[in-house]
Amino acid sequence: MTEEARWWQTPVEYIKGVGPRRAELLRLEAGIHTAGDLISHFPYRHLDRSRIDLAAELREGQAFAQLKGRLTNIRWVERGPHRRLSATLTDRSGTVELTWFQGLKFIRQSLVEGAEYLVFGRPVKLGYTFSLAHPEMERTTVGGPVRRLGLMPLYSTTEKMKKAGLDSKGLEAIIRRLLDALPFTFSETLSPDVVASARLISRHEALRQAHFPDSQESLMAAVRRLKFEELFFLRLQLLRLNLGRKQEKPGIEVVRVNRLVKEFYENHLPFRLTGAQIRVLREIREDMATGRQMSRLLQGDVGSGKTMVALLAMLSVVDAGFQACLMAPTEILAQQHYFALEALLRPLRVPVALLTGSTSRSARQEILPALAEGRLPIITGTHALLEEEVRFHNLALAVIDEQHRFGVAQRGRMWQKNDIPPHILIMTATPIPRTLALTVYGDLDVSLLDELPPGRKPVITRLLKETQRRELTALVRTELEKGRQVYWVFPLIEESEKLDYTPLVRGFEEVQKEFPGWEAAMLHGRMTPGEKEQVMQRFATGQAQILVATTVIEVGVNVPNASVMVIEHAERFGLAQLHQLRGRVGRGAEQSFCFLVASPGLSREGLQRLQIMSQTQDGFRLAEEDLRLRGSGDVEGTRQSGNVRLRIADLSRDLDILQEADACARAVLAGDPFLVSPLHEPLRRTLHTLRQAESFWKNIA
């Protein structure tokens, strides 16, 4: 081990200024075990302490203020049984109040009436003046602060740590001492070609400047360098894993036969495929013919026609003499797929079956042997397909629709259905930004359906307030009179783990009262699969014109004549979810509408979210906004795949750096896939270290 590696592993209790008790706290409260962990505990922000605020210019909500002024009127204030200490600080613009509640005796003794102080704290408005509770105080000498204060690091700590002197200041002192006494220069982890092409500062410089920057610019350069490094190695590992998978995992070789595909294409295709559908199909079919296993993510915005891609991919597999399955996250969706596939495949005389949790015993007894003996080429269903007793004769392709409802473990179970794992095609409408998808689904190839079928009109989206309900009713009635159908969605209220259906049921009654001439139906998750199917059928066939529902209709439902989507309490939904809901309309040639009804007392953030909805239909843009507003932890799809935990980079903010790091990692691997070039020695060494640090892998799903 090098001196540096040994230093990096130094247990915290041996670091100057720490000791056993604080070491324990650092480990338990902050997960800091070693010197390396401590250096990687980066400040969450820096405060510019070279700036002096003026009392008259303080703003409400300002996180911190630094003032310089004369201290007067030090006094005791009695409030019932409580006593506090107050003082007034006066600068050339005005005054602020300073207050203390604890440690009063000691503080009182240290304050000098009439002296000039540099004061630092959080200003809170009380009446007309601002007040700072327990501010940091420092006497100034005549003409300025006692020491030069630049960018001050702020470290996250906990209450327990603070009590042991490990507040931000305490951590700062320990880290500063550690860096000042460093007996070597931090070695470079990136290779010179990468450093040069991404224009990065050295790692040694970055580690110091990230804590104690000389300027705003050097702070930014340091943070960018460290984020880049983190994301670069994340991508490098995943890309290499992907290379490895392609070389190692054999797959079923699906040779091109083109009998059924050709017949379907020439005689039964109900429309012309879009350019994107053709391209993606080619990608899938080429991938399945290589003899290696395909693991492909098909991303396509709502309504981009993923089902047809799945159908044609499955037909290619059947052409080659294999079986295929299509798995959906809900009963409703599985049924819908079944009806659609059955109708399309009937003229080809390709049998299809449906298997869900509510499939009857007798139906099962027919389906299961047919599947095991290979008489049934295509099956669609829910997770029921993953059950032990479901055996295939020769499953070559598993299509998984709307994957974000499936966990990674379930994906794995699909692989075990054959000796040779089937090809996997995961279809999702959740428009995870491509770069994030790359990171989250690191082991998958990505195909993009980035074109909607022609003739789609953008959905007119309007934000309505409770007071505009009359107008809403009139708008909906106009559409009903034209023969269109309407979705009316209510959020489910979660009350201490119990779901409350009252708003939905009330809403249903209101809708029935408001539109007496039309037939309304109600759909929610607590109904039995049979009931759900009945309701969906009534709506799909037009017997019911209004479907009052919870978000069970969110994913995938396809009723082209439905052209109005009303969403009650729209602010309770995330952008991704609203986009999914809106995607249920605008599927036919008619002009469609989406009405977002906002509750009274909408927050600013809520309003912002709904306004974005009415401004764009671009799922990717919405996803990025969602990411920005909520952070990557909340993006659909990242949850089940296990969040990628990072020390310094933040996937919701650093997409641009991720993109750059990804491009760099690809460029390196394109020229030197096994990293054998001496130039790439630092990369090899770092990957080796990362592999040893098991924790890195634990953080990736």
- Contact positions toward Mg ion, by CB under 5 A? 556
Q: How far is the CB of 423 from ligand ADP (least distance, A)?
A: 19
Beta bridge partners of 303: none
Cα–Cα distance for residue pair 229/200, rounded to 1 Å: 9
Partner touching 491 among ligand ADP, Mg ion, none, CB below 5 to 8 Å by kind: none
Token readout for 152 is 């001050």
Cα–Cα distance for residue pair 669/680, rounded to 1 Å: 10
Cβ atoms within 10 Å of 355's Cβ, excluding its own: 24
Is the CB of 559 or the CB of 635 nearer to ligand ADP?
A: 559
Token readout for 112 is 């000098």
Q: How far is the CB of 551 from Mg ion (least distance, A)?
A: 15
Q: What is the DSSP string of 170-222?
A: HHHHHHHHHHHT--SPPPP-S-HHHHHHTT---HHHHHHHHHS-SSHHHHHHH
Is the CB of 218 or the CB of 304 nearer to ligand ADP?
A: 304
Q: How far is the CB of 357 from ligand ADP (least distance, A)?
A: 22
Q: Which residue is nearest to ligand ADP (CB)?
A: 305
Q: Is 20 helix (H, G, I), strand (E, B) or coil?
A: helix
Is the CB of 96 or the CB of 429 nearer to ligand ADP?
A: 429
Partner touching 682 among ligand ADP, Mg ion, none, CB below 5 to 8 Å by kind: none
Is the CB of 433 or the CB of 583 nearer to ligand ADP?
A: 583
Give the Å distances, CA to CA, from 376 to 328, 540, 679. 18, 27, 55
Q: Interface residues with ligand ADP (CB under 6 A)? A: 271-274, 277, 300, 302-308, 429, 453, 556, 558, 560, 587
Partner touching 323 among Mg ion, ligand ADP, none, CB below 5 to 8 Å by kind: none
Q: Is 692 helix (H, G, I), strand (E, B) or coil?
A: helix
Q: How far is the CB of 356 from Mg ion (least distance, A)?
A: 17
Q: Are 336 and 556 in contact (CB under 8 A)?
A: yes
Is the CB of 307 or the CB of 550 nearer to ligand ADP?
A: 307
Is the CB of 283 or the CB of 402 nearer to Mg ion?
A: 402
Strand order in the sheet with 65-79: 123-126, 129-133, 95-100, 82-90, 65-79, 116-121, 136-139
Q: How far is the CB of 329 from ligand ADP (least distance, A)?
A: 12
**What Rg value do the Cα atoms of the chain yield, rounded?**
31
Q: Are 261 and 320 in contact (CB under 8 A)?
A: no
Token readout for 304 is 């981009």
Single out the residue of 625, 547, 671, 542 nearest to residue 191, CA to CA.
671
- Determine the number of helices (DSSP H) and then strands (DSSP E) in the chain: 25, 24
Q: How far is the CB of 644 from Mg ion (least distance, A)?
A: 27
Is the CB of 308 or the CB of 320 nearer to ligand ADP?
A: 308
Partner touching 570 among Mg ion, ligand ADP, none, CB below 5 to 8 Å by kind: none
Q: Are 380 and 327 in contact (CB under 8 A)?
A: yes
Q: How far is the CB of 341 from Mg ion (least distance, A)?
A: 12
Q: Are 463 and 609 in contact (CB under 8 A)?
A: no
Is the CB of 292 or the CB of 587 nearer to ligand ADP?
A: 587
Partner touching 560 among ligand ADP, Mg ion, none, CB below 5 to 8 Å by kind: ligand ADP
Q: How far is the CB of 274 from Mg ion (least distance, A)?
A: 15
Strands (E), 12-150: 45-48, 65-79, 82-90, 95-100, 116-121, 123-126, 129-133, 136-139
Is the CB of 47 or the CB of 281 nearer to ligand ADP?
A: 281
| Residues sharing a CB contact under 8 Å with residue 70, sequence separation 6 or more, in sequence order | 89, 90, 91, 114, 115, 116, 117
Is the CB of 433 or the CB of 556 nearer to Mg ion?
A: 556
Partner touching 43 among ligand ADP, Mg ion, none, CB below 5 to 8 Å by kind: none
Q: How far is the CB of 586 from ligand ADP (least distance, A)?
A: 10
Partner touching 374 among Mg ion, ligand ADP, none, CB below 5 to 8 Å by kind: none
Q: How far is the CB of 525 from ligand ADP (least distance, A)?
A: 21
Is the CB of 210 or the CB of 562 nearer to Mg ion?
A: 562
Is the CB of 237 or the CB of 307 nearer to ligand ADP?
A: 307
Is the CB of 275 or the CB of 673 nearer to ligand ADP?
A: 275
Cα–Cα distance for residue pair 573/556, rounded to 1 Å: 17
Is the CB of 69 or the CB of 303 nearer to ligand ADP?
A: 303
∠ CA 484-354-580, nearest 5°, is 40
Cα–Cα distance for residue pair 693/695, rounded to 1 Å: 5
Q: How far is the CB of 268 from ligand ADP (least distance, A)?
A: 13
Q: How far is the CB of 300 from ligand ADP (least distance, A)?
A: 5
Q: What is the DSSP string of 200-211?
A: ---HHHHHHHHH
Cα–Cα distance for residue pair 487/564, rounded to 1 Å: 6
Q: How far is the CB of 278 from ligand ADP (least distance, A)?
A: 9
Q: How far is the CB of 555 from Mg ion (least distance, A)?
A: 7
Single out the residue of 458, 521, 462 nearest to residue 488, CA to CA.
521
Cα–Cα distance for residue pair 264/568, rounded to 1 Å: 42
Give the Å distances, CA to CA, from 555 to 26, 328, 576. 45, 10, 11
β-pairing verdict for 378-381 and 352-355: parallel
